[in-house]
Structure 1
Amino acid sequence: MNTELDIDPSFIDKSLPVPVGRQLYGLMSYQLSHFDLPKGTKLPSVRRLASTLGIAQVTVAQVYAELRDAGLVEMRKGSGAYTRLALPQESDHGVTALRTDIDLLLSKAERKGVSPMSLVAMVNAQAQLRRSRPGLSVIFVGVFPGPGEDYVRELSPLLSPRDRISLVTLDQLRMEEETRRACVEADVVVTFVHRETEVEHLVPDANVYGLRFIPSDATRAALARLDPRARVAAITQLQDYIAIMKPSVQRYAPHVSDIRVSWSQAPDLDALIAGSDAVIYASGADHVLRRVRPGVPCFEYRHSADPAALEAEFLPYLAELRERQKAALKLVSGGPTSSDN
């Protein structure tokens, strides 16, 4: 288990036309979301990290502020920055979290001039609207359609036959009012843990759940099989995540030293691929496959939902949602629901 962030100066490529702050944010947000960092782990100070990377302190401070706003770090006055995400052990979505949700809802109603009794009536009316719903309505918010469909298929066996799960992308969420409305009406909107705050900002009235993802077993096996002498090209579709590619490959292929990173629209991409013995591409950059010559190992750096998070957190949360739904139906009907019989 890692107990500190792995931030090597070589991960930040100052020769790229991508701001170093953008690279650093992508690197840190990924590691905070995917690496095994216990909650409350102290992060390097702004001064220390700026000195290590050779970049301005104001840039590092801005990155820490963005990580705080994304819900990934906690800033403690006079002490510094600490990780906020907990490793999967036990559900954080119990009675205490529900009481917090209720308190937040009451505060929002008060700001809008809605009395507690009116709020109860609104909740009852919403429960009645859900009464005929066949199971839970689940929406998964992904980045790219192809990988997103795979994630939906991965989560589907965890749901009951009466549940419904569908996919939307972040772009759809940003551009389509109908998609945002569907998320608000769903029982739960599931997304990557490091995208949770972003989705909450897009649909503040939706019930958003951040799920932890880790590199898939197939990805780890493929990385372990790489020839230690190989010249490896690691390619991402998103410039924000250029800085994560090298440490992500090195984590499961520490025997490989020659790793060159780029993004899928770089003008020198063809030359990079031609001079490589193996090509790894992040989800969404699968079109680079067409540029790889036959016989050269080429595979996707794919993630999958963390089994520990599914078992310890997500499944109990789904069970809690079902209990809430059942209780709401009982309250509206004044008696047992059909599912109780």
Structure 2
Amino acid sequence: MSFDFDESCIDKSLPVPVGRQLFGLLSYELSHGDLPKGTRLPSVRRMAADLGIAQATVAQVYQDLRDAGLLELRKGSGAYTCLSVPQLADHGSTALHTDVAVLLNKAERLGYSPMELIAMINGQARMRRSQRGLRIVFAVIFEGPGADYVDAVRPYLAPNDRISMVTFDVLRADAGARQMCDSADLVLTFLHRESELAAIVPDAPILGLRFIPSDETRQALAALDPRARVAAITQLKDYIAIMRPSVQRFAPHVSDIRVSWSYAPDLEALLSESDAVIYATGADHVARMVRPGVPCFEYRHAPDKAVLEHELAPKLAALREARAQVAANERGQTAKTG
């Protein structure tokens, strides 16, 4: 993805302010895209000229993105991305075999036999099972897809870890839910919602995860008929401007894409004229409005596996190591006083 925007990216006929459209467009690309850290954004003047909107609107959006933790504004230099994009490593048995070989070589250099190394691994495994597991909370927007996000994280958890899910709406309304986050070892959420969550539960240990379009979504988009009149429907007005480029990214062969939001007054008419319908997560009711025989599927995201491997897994390991150190210190104090 890049910042090659033009006036077609912003639809001034929609009942959504252009600034809100631009914020959603940029926040999506900054948190879901593949832009390296330190990538410079177009200047305010150039972005405004390319999109045909006021410079003051672009400047305000850049400041809002900075406040959301998605941009760095350097005085006299411009705006830069501040999020790193981890690269996905091999998740198969090849990577595990490589790790085992490295561990064996290290043990040999330190004078440990393979059997001694196995005994050490067994001991660590028993200790891990006996320790109290981590308490993790996943803050989501919608419960349905949230359950899938939790399932994506489970392979990185220990057997005695506990993970629960809570929506942003519940967190805003329920003090008990906020207390659950405050007392958790780690609270997960979407990268572009991290600042919003921190405002709700400022004392919670939060980790924002980068999300990317799911494999199922990419395959469904690639299979669209190039002649189809496609309706792309968003649930949140903030992200109405991202629907067309999101579809075109994986369906460049489709040219007729019409964008709307899930409660637009003319939605029913748009759906009746469409040969395929794509709806964003949360707009499930749109599927019930589509006439029989018309392809219809959700544009769903999933946690980036590279982030789970290179950010979440090390974070969980560090939390367990810190807990083990505290337990060891407590046992030492008990031995001294006993």
Structure 1: 4+ residue segments shifted above 6 A: none
- 2:154 is aligned to 156
Q: For residues 110-152 of structure 1, give each alpha carbon's deviation from its aligned partner in whole angstroms, at most 9, with x where no partner exists.
A: xxxxxxxxxxxxxxxxxxxxxx983000000111111111111
- 1:23 is aligned to 21
Q: For residues 172-206 of structure 1, give each alpha carbon's deviation from its aligned partner in whole angstroms, at most 9, with x where no partner exists.
A: 11221111111010000000111111111111111
- 1:61 is aligned to 59
Residue 16 of structure 1 deviates from its aligned partner by 1.1
- 2:83 is aligned to 85
Contact 2:153-2:308 within 8 A present in 1 as well: no
Quick one: distance in 2 between partners of 1:233 and 1:289? 12
Quick one: distance in 2 between partners of 1:173 and 1:12? 32
> Structure 2 stretches of 5 or more lacking a match?
89-129
Q: For residues 288-317 of structure 1, give each alpha carbon's deviation from its aligned partner in whole angstroms, at most 9, with x where no partner exists.
A: 111111111000001111111111221111
Residue 326 of structure 1 deviates from its aligned partner by 1.2
Give the structure-2-normalised TM-score: 0.84
Given the superposition, is the C-alpha separation of residues 218 and 89 from structure 1 closer, same or farther in structure 2, using an over 3 Å criterion? closer
| 1:216-231 alignment, distance < 5 Å | 216-231=214-229
Quick one: distance in 2 between partners of 1:7 and 1:150? 33
- 2:71 is aligned to 73
- 1:281 is aligned to 279
Q: Which amino acid aligns with 1:272?
A: L
Please, which of 254, 258, 261 is the counterpart of residue 259 of structure 2? 261
Q: Which amino acid aligns with 1:59?
A: T
> Structure 1 stretches of 5 or more lacking a match?
91-131, 337-341
Quick one: distance in 1 between partners of 2:297 and 2:219? 11
Q: For residues 23-52 of structure 1, give each alpha carbon's deviation from its aligned partner in whole angstroms, at most 9, with x where no partner exists.
A: 100010000011100000000111110111
Quick one: distance in 2 between partners of 1:299 and 1:11? 23
Given the superposition, is the C-alpha separation of residues 161 and 266 from structure 1 closer, same or farther in structure 2, using an over 3 Å criterion? same
Q: Which amino acid aligns with 2:291?
A: R
Equivalent pairs counted in the alignment come to: 294
Q: CA RMSD in A?
A: 1.7
Greater gyration radius? 2
Q: What secondary structure, in the 3-state scheme, does the structure 2 residue paired with 1:257 have? A: coil
Identity, in percent, stands at 67
Residue 5 of structure 1 deviates from its aligned partner by 2.1
Contact 2:213-2:302 within 8 A present in 1 as well: yes
Q: For residues 237-256 of structure 1, give each alpha carbon's deviation from its aligned partner in whole angstroms, at most 9, with x where no partner exists.
A: 11111011011001111111
